[in-house]
Amino acid sequence: MARLSRFAMGAALAALAATQIMAQTVSDFPAVTDAEIQNPDPADWLSWRRTLDSWGYSPLDQIDRDNVQQLRMVWAMPLNSGHQEGTPLVHDGIMYFPGPADTIHAIDARSGQLIWRYQRHLPDDIGDYLPVYDTTRNVAIYGHLIIGNSADDYLYALDARTGELVWETQIMDYRHGAKQSSGPIIANGLAITGRSCEPEGGPDACVITAHNALTGEEVWRTPIIAQGQDPNDPTWGGVPLADRQQVGAWMLASFDPALGLIYMGTSVSAPTPKIRLAGNDYTYLYHNSTLALDVNTGRIVWHYQHMVDQWDIDHTFPRMLIDEEVAPDPSQVAWMAPDIEAGRTYRVVTGVPGKSGIVYTLDRETGRFLWARPTLMQNLVQSIDGATGRVTLNPDTVPTAYGQSITICPAPTGGANYPAGAYSPLTQTMYFPVQNTCAEMSALDPAEGDTGVYGVASRAFMAPDVGGMLGAIHAVNAVNGRSEWTHLQRAGTQSLLTTGGGLLFAGDAEGHFMAMDQRDGSVLWDMNLGSSVTGYPATFAVDGQQYVAVSTGFWLSDNFTPEIVHGRQNTLFVFALPEAGIGHRGPQRAQINPAGALGSADPPQPGGNIGGFTRMASAGVFSTAQAEAGLAAYTRNCAACHGPSLQGAGGVPPLAGAAFMSHWRGRSLGELFTYLRESMPPGAGGSLSDAEYLALVAYLLQANGLPAGEQGLDQDAALLAAIGIS
């Protein structure tokens, strides 16, 4: 799809306003190259897992096992509301952090001072089409650009120095079934992205795409549901193309520049029980597979299917790329190829790619199976043929009729899920956060009515024989497959980070952020951050000092541990050793005194009209229906603090009467709208739709004696800025 040449005036003005509020730019910003992304400076964190091999490892070693007990918080930043799973990027001392709903912050990484913030304006009805649409796991950096994958199905780029929108390319219509919760990786100048695909999008929504990272032009688009001339089309058993649904790639890819291959995992089909499709004898490619794609063309070079799914056991999670000897220990490795060459260094793709919690190690040049083993209790896979890699499911977990009660371990929540593991070259060990769960499942009969997207009923519970310990970190040697150690705990475990200081940083659902010894899993340092650690941790260096960053938010699986009480605040935290100091000031801010702005240092012009307005609110600029909608929104969201009569109390300011009008007279409706959207409700600015904030403006005007007109207020930023309050 061609890059869109237009820039919507409202969005462009809003982006500019978000930048100008901070009055800051990033100076002396060195452009980021492919060479740097593929071999980053140890001080930087330039990709989702720092490097394109998805290790989640940094060679920084200033913070180590001997001094980590001295680690202390140096700054924190509150984030906007929503589902928060962000990853910091850091380049040359500037952090770029994605908050929920396509909010991007540029931050002085040493002081925590905000330089600029970009807030993408999403459609008011997006929640009607996409569930949990506001997750933004990561952004990418390339040249002078910060590149995001938006909730409304655009790929877009900001100027890293100013936060201004440079280009945007529509990938598809958000109303037709694709959700983008993960951002791009950059591979040879291409922004590679995947997405989950809702059933209403059909197979067209289930694609992996590549775009020119400098211009936004689409380069290739690869379907991940076999169809048409694809030789694997028959694996669907004649299921009509329109009924082939839901096979997405909703996490991120890894990339091997030497082989020119991208490695990406795919999700389940929907409905998941195969008795709802063509039966249990078909494989329905390319669901639940590792795909190796040619970076230049998007052609699928090879694929490996991890299991034919029945119960929503996705296999979309990070693939680690490691060059290593392959010498699986038969005492601990359940399945292995019979002809592994002793002493040979293989290029492997490995890790726990799916919710099953099974480690799979493949030759990443050919896709050949090498070895696999579980990391937790699982009963889904019965065996794997070492010679062919073909997976045989446990027949007791495969439904053959509707309504059968079947116990599976792990549950559809995993096992593994979006929290990422990490690898350390110091120990040649992979570390995986997993949850010990099981579930009672049954396939639902479509004749009985709406069975939901997946067509299953489930009741999850804690796995037996773990003593109520939901969370675990399992350390598996990447060479021989042995378990090095296992850490069990009551709270669910989250994403991991390894460092050259011999440390494994780990967060959990209770809010604890821990530093552990990579060698044995002993906890060396622990701080309770108050809310679930939901973001991906990163480490970086500025002015010779190492820092560690992590973020908190709301975790979705607290029902397993109801006695654990914690907050749900979205906050970004940064830690360092005492030598780094605290209380650093960021770059000096230039003052902003725009004529007519709230709090301007400039005196008002005679007559009170300090904005050069083309219309005044007293002329009737809102509709009665808009004001009525505003009253309803006020009652739901504002009356608890400001009171039913808008008079406030106890330090809460009034919203009607002389005090309010004195404060806002001579200002623009654009300023009032922006203030409400960014600040209200307290601590949850932006949590209402733009239409609701606009209705609140209309209601406040009416409550202060201004008349309604025939037409309602328009959301266009330029039009609102041209209307004065009088």
Degrees, nearest 5: CA angle 218-91-184: 25
Give the model's pLDDT for residue 511. 96
Q: What's the number of domains the chain is made of?
A: 2
Tell me what pLDDT residue 604 has: 52
State which residues form the domain around 625: 615-724
The confidence band for 16, taking pLDDT boundaries of 50, 70 and 90, is very low
Tell me: do 307 and 423 sit in the same domain.
yes
Average pLDDT rounded to a whole number, residues 385-413: 97
- Residues 537-563: what's their mean pLDDT? 92
Q: Which CATH number characterizes residue 669's domain?
A: 1.10.760.10
Q: How far apart are CA 255 and CA 369, in angstroms?
A: 19
Tell me, yes or no, whether 221 and 104 share the same domain: yes
Is 3 among the domain residues? no
User: Which of 550, 557, 224, 536 is closest to 415 using CA atoms?
Assistant: 557
Report how far residue 627's alpha carbon sits from residue 630's, in angstroms, rounded to the nearest whole number.
5
Length of the chain in residues, anyone? 726
Name the more confident of 594 and 56: 56
Predicted confidence band of residue 599 (pLDDT cuts 50, 70, 90): low
Per-residue pLDDT tens over the stretch 663-677: 888 889 999 998 898
Question: CA torsion angle for 318, 322, 324, 329 (degrees, to 10)?
Answer: -10
Residue 459 has pLDDT above 80, yes or no: yes
Mean confidence (pLDDT) of the chain:
92
Q: Quick one: how far is CA 347 from the chain centroid?
A: 29
Identify the domain boundary among 537, 558, 580: 580
Domain final position from 527, 559, 580:
580
pLDDT value of position 590:
74
Residue 243 has pLDDT above 60, yes or no: yes
Residue 452 resides in a domain? yes
Do 205 and 265 belong together in one domain?
A: yes
Which residue among 554, 580, 606 closes a domain?
A: 580
Answer whether residue 605 is part of any domain. Answer: no
Closest CA to 147 of 48, 243, 246, 255: 48
Residue 603's pLDDT band, with cuts at 50, 70 and 90, is: low
Tens of pLDDT, residues 197-233: 988 899 999 999 999 999 999 999 999 999 999 999 9
Q: What is the pLDDT of residues 68-124, one digit of tens each?
A: 999 999 999 999 999 999 999 999 999 999 999 999 999 999 999 999 999 999 998
pLDDT of residue 559: 78
- What would the pLDDT profile of 325-346 be if each residue is shown by its tens digit? 999 999 999 999 999 999 999 9
Q: What is the pLDDT of residue 491?
A: 96
DSSP per-residue letters across 650-699:
TTPPPSSSHHHHHHHTTSBHHHHHHHHHHH-STT-TT-S-HHHHHHHHHH
pLDDT of residue 200: 87
Position with higher pLDDT, 636 vs 218: 218
State pLDDT tens for residues 483-528. 999 999 999 999 999 999 999 999 999 999 999 999 999 999 999 9
Asked if 691 and 572 sit in the same domain, the reply is no
Same domain, yes or no, for 565 and 645? no
Residue 250 counted as domain residue = yes
Reply yes or no on whether the pLDDT at 682 is more than 50.
yes
